[in-house]
Amino acid sequence: MFHRHQKNPILTGADWPYPAHTVFNPGATLLADGTTLLLCRVEDRRGISHLCAARSANGVDGWVIDEKPTLRPDPEKYPEELWGIEDPRITFVEELGKYVIAYTAFSRGGPGVALALTEDFRHFERCGLAMQPDDKDAALLPRRINGSFALLHRPNHHQMTDQGAHVWISFSPDLRNWGGHKLVLSARKGGWWDANKVGLSPPLIETTEGWLMLYHGVRGTAAGCLYRLGLALFALDQPERCLARGDSWIFGPEAPYERAGDVGNVAFPCGYTLGSDGDAINLYYGAADTSVALATGSVSELLRWLSKHSSGSDSL
Ligand code: BMA
């Protein structure tokens, strides 16, 4: 259902205007003038990541990349960013007139979820940690649900036990104080492709049928982890209520640039843009923790597939 773009990988470290080891896991959004903005995770040669914006008129090529890091870790003021900032997800919140970026802040205590606000991807207002370590794979919903902001995220307190890592939702009146935590999507068990560990991939996609989630399942194998993507649907007014969950994965590492790299067998989307018809989707993903790739699809086709290939709600 997703088609790899023939120009993949569309961005690599070699395209960067300053030294970069790898460029991957970009957040994505359309700016008011229709420009596609990717906020890429750039890993430097110390192993520390920062975020850098790349802009393109068609979302495929002609990228104009910021000459310097767009958002650097600032551990003096924000100690949770000591070892870098990673994997941004961007949501435009009309009520605020701002983009909210949910990103992983890598601290001594492990990875946590931090939020920052921006109007222009040049100036940023940090909110600090929303979720303490160990937590990542977060994205905000674009509007309040029953009066509260809602954040999807993936706590990982039980990695060493058999309890697994699952997707949760939390609510806040002000983007700073969070509560009302609820389990949204559980990892399956046993031999499933999405056993033991799942996480939100890009922000949820709002459709007339519900919030459409693209999530990653992490399969541990003797040769390392395999990151693949599945689909689930949640109620619009009650986003913790799972309406459907696909059984098989719909996208996984197959192309050479997904199979091999710093971390092979990883296809990891953090963002998408929708076409003017509200249906065509450009999915931007990190390939093997090394480069940025693009796959195109159709939201209505994803929904049709899900209605035929779901074993019901959050089946374990
Ligand atoms: C996840 C995150 C991603 C990364 C993936 C594969 O846990 O850290 O940033 O792409 O692992 O290494």
State the burial class of residue 58 (Cβ atoms within 10 Å of its Cβ: 0-12, 13-18, 19+): exposed
What backbone phi and psi angles, to 5 degrees, belong to 175? 70, 5
Looking at the chain, the whole-number percentage of residues with pLDDT higher than 70 is 97
Those residues with Cβ within 8 angstroms of residue 288's Cβ, 6 or more apart along the chain or in another chain: 24, 253, 257, 258, 259, 260, 261, 262, 263, 264, 265, 266
For ligand 1, the distance from its centroid to the CA atom of residue 274, given in whole angstroms, is 25
Query: Confidence class of residue 312 from pLDDT cuts 50, 70 and 90?
Result: low
For ligand 1, the distance from its centroid to the CA atom of residue 202, given in whole angstroms, is 13
Examine the pLDDT at 42 and tell me if it is beyond 80. Answer: yes
Does the beta carbon of 286 lie inside 6 Å of ligand 1? yes
CATH pick for 3-308 out of 3.40.50.880, 2.60.40.2470, 3.10.450.50, 2.115.10.20:
2.115.10.20
Task: Report, as an integer, the average pLDDT of 94-103.
Answer: 98
Task: Report, as an integer, the average pLDDT of 186-195.
Answer: 94
Residue to mutate, 201, 268, 270, 285, ligand 1, most ligand atoms under 8 Å from C-beta? 268
Examine the pLDDT at 21 and tell me if it is beyond 90. Answer: yes
Task: Report, as an integer, the average pLDDT of 149-162.
Answer: 82
For ligand 1, the distance from its centroid to the CA atom of residue 147, given in whole angstroms, is 33
For ligand 1, the distance from its centroid to the CA atom of residue 185, given in whole angstroms, is 19
Compute the distance between CA of residue 9 and CA of residue 157 in angstroms, rounded to an integer: 34
Q: How many residues does the chain have?
A: 316
Amino acid 186: pLDDT: 95
Query: Confidence class of residue 221 from pLDDT cuts 50, 70 and 90?
Result: confident
pTM: 0.96
Task: Report, as an integer, the average pLDDT of 287-306.
Answer: 98
Query: Confidence class of residue 160 from pLDDT cuts 50, 70 and 90?
Result: low
Strands 49-56 and 198-200, bridge-based pairing? unpaired
Considering only CA atoms, which of 147, 168, 148 is closest in space to residue 157?
168
Residue ID of nearest Cα to ligand 1 atom 9: 87
Does the beta carbon of 268 lie inside 6 Å of ligand 1? yes
For ligand 1, the distance from its centroid to the CA atom of residue 77, given in whole angstroms, is 25
Does the beta carbon of 137 lie inside 6 Å of ligand 1? no
Amino acid 316: pLDDT: 46
Amino acid 158: pLDDT: 63
Residue ID of nearest Cα to ligand 1 atom 2: 87
Looking at the chain, the whole-number percentage of residues with pLDDT higher than 90 is 93
Examine the pLDDT at 17 and tell me if it is beyond 50. Answer: yes
**Token representation of residue 172:** 């806040």
Compute the distance between CA of residue 20 and CA of residue 42 in angstroms, rounded to an integer: 6
Task: Report, as an integer, the average pLDDT of 196-211.
Answer: 97
